[in-house]
Every structure is written in structure tokens, then in C-alpha cells.
Chains A and B, each alone.
Chain A
Amino acid sequence: MNEKRAAAYRASVTVGLVLAVLTILEYFAAIYLHSTVVLFLLALFKAVAVLNYFMHVSRLWRTEEGH
């Protein structure tokens, strides 16, 4: 496997792990904190991660090589 591809896979898995940790935090925050604001902030962090790293929203305004 070439290095560029391996790095891309690693980045995806890292973001996935971050999302998993945030989900677990969300679950325990709901049980112990009962704060709507905290829960929505955690949801917002997850949403930003998905939008930026999985959905690559920045490609909308970035000029790059076409595919």
C-alpha cells in the first residue's frame, strides 16, 4: 500500500475514533449532566468533524484538480 493512501486511511480512522469518543461522552453527559447545551455542543463538534473531514465541504469553494 503506498504511503499517501495509508495516510488517508489513517486520517479517516482517526476522525472516526474522535466521533466515537464524542458519542460516548454525549451518552454519559446526558446521564450525569442533564444539560441540553452541553449535548448540543457535543453534537455540533461531531457535525463539524463530519462536515469537514467526511463530507469535505471545503471542496465547494476550493479550486483543485478535477476528478
Chain B
Amino acid sequence: MSAVAEQIAAHGVAHGADTHDVHDTHDAKEQLRNNRLGLWLFFVSEAFLFGGLLATRFYLWGETRPPVDQIVGLIVTSVLLVSSLSMKLAETAMENGDRRTFSIGMIVTAILGMVFLFGVMIFEWGIFPSIYKAHETPWDNVYGAVVFAMTGMHALHVISGVIFILIVWNLGRKGHFSSDSHWGVESCAIYWHYVDLVWIFFYPALYLIGTPVH
């Protein structure tokens, strides 16, 4: 092949490689946009579920509420809030390539999530009556039924969130994510914040709004 032809061929290969890289980047951005949209559509569907439970609370309880323990409510809410912060720090760490802070943040979030879960189970559900006797049971009346329905459905999401966190933490530990590519971390973080978001509305609905009935 002549020198000119070789140069043209080399330019063609280089240009083809550039075009291919641009196309890959475009595909990756498109995939990320689709991933985000899919996750938020899932949240919209979950909003109907939790919204329905909230509507049930107000329909059945009206301006009343059961005599729940306010200190327990404030403590578990604070724990969940702090877990949201630690999750945000973990995600920010991965965005900036700080793997150590990412790892610590994820583990702290998982631990706080479990603390919240056990706080609700022990002090709200009364699963260990020798430690704390619950105010209501699910079959007592509408108060017990709604408390258990709302906190139970939320707890299922907390459990799945903690499992998600541990999986992502393990994958991160093995080097699956980077500052340029960490959809797993982002999706896990957003899911966990959604769990907190639901509790932001559940907390006043369960603990703060209405006159306590005895």
C-alpha cells in the first residue's frame, strides 16, 4: 500500500475508533438515563402503596391516634435520618473516588437501618414483651391494625434496603464501581433515601397528628 493510502487508512481507523468511543459514551449516558427513569417510575408505584396506607390512617383514625411512645418515635426517626446522611456521604465518596469513606458509610448506614428496624420491632411491635410491652397488637382495633400495616410495610422496605446496601458494599469492596461508573451505588442510595422519605410522612401520621385515645 502506498504511503498516502496507509495514512488515509490509519486516519480512517482512528476516526472510526473515535466515532465508536463517542457512540459508546452516548449509549452509556442513554442507559443511565433509562435506569434513573425506571427507578423513579418504581418509586411512583410505591407512592401509591404508601399513599394508600396514609389515606387509610386518616380515614380510620380521623383526628385521633393511639398512645404511642413519643421518645421512641423521635429516636427511631433520628436514627433513620442519620442513616440517610451516612448513605449520602457514602455515595458522595464513591463519586469522588474515596473508597474508604464509601465502605464506612455503607456499613454505618446498614447498622443504623438495623437499629431502626429493631427499635420499631421491640418498642412498637413489642416482639420481646419482657423488654417492652407494646401499646397495641394488630388484632386489637383499627389503631393496632394500621400501626402494624404502616410500620410493617415500611419495615419490609428497610430490610430489603439493608440487603441492597450490603450487596452494593460487597461489590464496591471488590472494585466493581468507580467514580465514573457507579449506578449500583447511586440506585442503592436513592432507594434508601426513599425509605427515609416515606418515614418523613409516616412519622407525623403515626406519632404526632391527632389526639391520643386511651
Residues of A whose CB lies within 8 Å of any CB of B are: 1-2, 4-5, 8-9, 12-13, 15-16, 19-20, 23, 26-27, 29-30, 36, 39-40, 42-43, 46-47, 50-51, 53-57, 59-60, 63, 65-67
Contact = CB atoms under 8 A, between A and B. Distances in A.
A51 B197 contact: yes
Contact of B81 (A9, A23, A29, A51): A23
B204 A57 contact: no
A66 to B, nearest CB: 4
Interface residues of B, number: 45
Interface string B173-203: 0000001111100100110011011001101
Interface stretch (B28-36, B118-126, B149-157): B28-36
Contact of B190 (A40, A55, A66): A55
Contacts of B32: 66-67
A28 to B, nearest CB: 10
A46 B200 contact: yes
Contact of A50 (B25, B29, B84): B84
Contacts of B99: none
Given A26-B204, A43-B200, A50-B200, A8 B96 contact: yes
Contact of A55 (B78, B95, B183, B194): B194
Given A27-B208, A66-B28, A67-B183, A60 B81 contact: no
14 contacts: A1-B98, A12-B89, A13-B85, A20-B78, A23-B81, A30-B207, A39-B209, A46-B200, A55-B193, A66-B31, A66-B32, A67-B95, A67-B180, A67-B182
